[in-house]
Chains A and B, each alone.
Chain A
Amino acid sequence: MAKSKWDAKSVAVTAIMIAVVIVLTLAVRIPVALTRGYFNLCDVGVYFAAFAFGPVIGFLAGGFGGALADIIGGYPQWAIPTLIIHGCQGLVAGYIGRGKSIVMLGTAWLVAAIVMIGGYMTASFLMYGPAAVLTDFPIYIAQNIAGLVIGVPLYLGVRKSYPQINNIGVSRAWEEEK
């Protein structure tokens, strides 16, 4: 495993990105969805972390950020599904879109959005039955659209005004490992 490759910088970045995802989820809440309660900017944070820092930090920030936000925000029964779903969303988005141009970011967004929506549909179906799938479907699409409308320009804007961002991340260390 690449455990020993985690240096202090990558741990710090991941921890802060987890915190950013939690804050984005909790700070902007528009209550709409019936089972999961609120419309939030969680996906913006996930896409930003994934695009800026790659699949590993994308996975950790998305998964643990989303799961902890669910726990703190009052939906702890969703924590484990969220961990997996938002984690995979960040993983996919980071794998395809890390540091790329706007076209690849869009592609990454599309694939990750499908992963996220499909994941939550399955989880709602398994936990709450078919009724929940119908009521929640629009909200997941809306959250992903927020991820596209804010997440992509946010990443491009931050990359432009804070270029040091390109030197942060664990991906280099992971690629070196054989």
Chain B
Amino acid sequence: MGFDFDLYVRRKSWLHRLDPRAKLLISLVGMVVLLTTKNIYLLLGLLLLFQLLLISAKIPGHKIVWIWKMMMIINIIIPLVWPLFYQKGTLLFQFGFIKFTSIAFLEGLSMAIRVDALAFACFLPLFCTNQGQLVRALVAIGMPYNIGLMIAIALRYVPTLYGSMATISQAQQSRGLELAKGSIVKKLRAYLPILTAMVISSLSITDKLAMSLECRGFAIKGVKRTSFQDLKATLADYMISVAILIIGSGLLLIRFLVGFGSTVI
């Protein structure tokens, strides 16, 4: 237990005040640029930029370290395994039939940096936007209202169901259910009694939930839906969004017209 279901860190910073749609735009433009370039300096620069943005948003250091810890294994694996698939370039040394070339190491390194930067690009809006705002932003940029509502309800019920699953699991274990014994299939089958009880208990929630939705007038025809809080973009939000779009499209232009970023160095 004790699992945190929300990445949001409550702080007062310019990134927290920024319109959530603009934050999603930063993330999206960042991902497009990252996935189209291979240039190691540009990738490093973007990675550094995302770190600086997180620091400027006053995200505590242990959160950033947590991401790095998760990315660690892949960071080691990719540069090591990359030469297996990439045999061109000047030879550094040979191990059996596998040639390790300097260009392959650089390719692997650039891939590893890209993977890290992609992760940070995605974490950025999640750290500085609360879940409600995020769903509101997704609805505002065209996600169907019903789906937004489902996501919001689902996020609200995750801790509840997690708690009920822990309770059921403890109850079954106290009756002699062994979760960590036997082969992998046996271990998996042991979850069956827990999951059956949990699914049925969660299905019984849906009745009450449907009733409370109807009580609040969900799916009434001929009524215009209003919301409690509306998103309002300020001039600064617009300016930041336009700046991101200009930088992003500029980078894409030089990528595809000049060819900057098609090679590692």
Q: 1/0 per residue B165-188: CB within 8 Å of A?
A: 110000000000000000011001
Q: Contact at A65–B154, with CB atoms within 8 Å?
A: yes
A60 to B144, CA, bound (A): 12
The answer to whether A19 touches B154, judged by C-beta atoms less than 8 angstroms apart, is yes
Does B260 count as interface, using CB distance less than 8 angstroms?
A: no
Q: Would you give the shortest CB distance from A106 to chain B, in whole angstroms?
A: 16
The stretch of A22-30, A97-105, A110-118 that contacts the partner chain: A22-30
Contact-residue size bin, chain B (C-beta under 8 Å from the other chain): 35 or more
Picked from A37, A79, A154, A168, the residue with its CB within 8 Å of the CB of B206 is A168
In residues 144-167 of chain A, which contact B (Cβ within 8 Å)? 146, 149-150, 153-154, 157-158, 161-162, 164-165
With A19-B157, A129-B85 as contacts: A13 and B206 at CB distance below 8 Å: yes
CB contacts (< 8 Å) of A13 on chain B: these are: 203, 206, 210
B150 near A161 with CB under 8 A, answer no
Contacts of A150 in B (CB 8 A): 188-189, 191-192, 195
Q: Let me know if A64 and B154 touch, CB within 8 A.
A: yes
A60 CA / B151 CA spacing, docked (Å) = 10
Query: Counting CB contacts under 8 A, is A141 at the interface?
Result: no
Q: B111: which A residues are within 8 A, CB to CB?
A: 128-129
Shortest Cβ distance from residue B81 to the other chain A in the assembled complex, whole angstroms: 4
A-side interface residues, number (CB < 8 Å): 59
Please state if B73 and A34 are interface contacts (CB–CB under 8 Å).
Answer: yes
Residues of chain B lying within 8 A (CB to CB) of residue A16: 153-154, 157, 161, 202-203, 205-206, 209
Which A residues are within 8 Å of any B CB, using their own CB?
A: 3-4, 6-9, 11-16, 18-20, 22-24, 26-28, 34-35, 37, 41, 44, 48, 60, 64-65, 68, 71-72, 74-77, 79, 127-132, 134-135, 142, 146, 149-150, 153-154, 157-158, 161-162, 164-165, 168
Residues of B within 8 A of A (CB): 3, 5-7, 31, 35, 66-67, 70, 73-74, 77-78, 81-82, 84-85, 108, 111, 115, 118-119, 121-123, 126, 144, 146-147, 149-151, 153-155, 157-158, 160-162, 165-166, 184-185, 188-189, 191-192, 195-196, 198-200, 202-203, 205-207, 209-211, 213-214, 218-219, 221
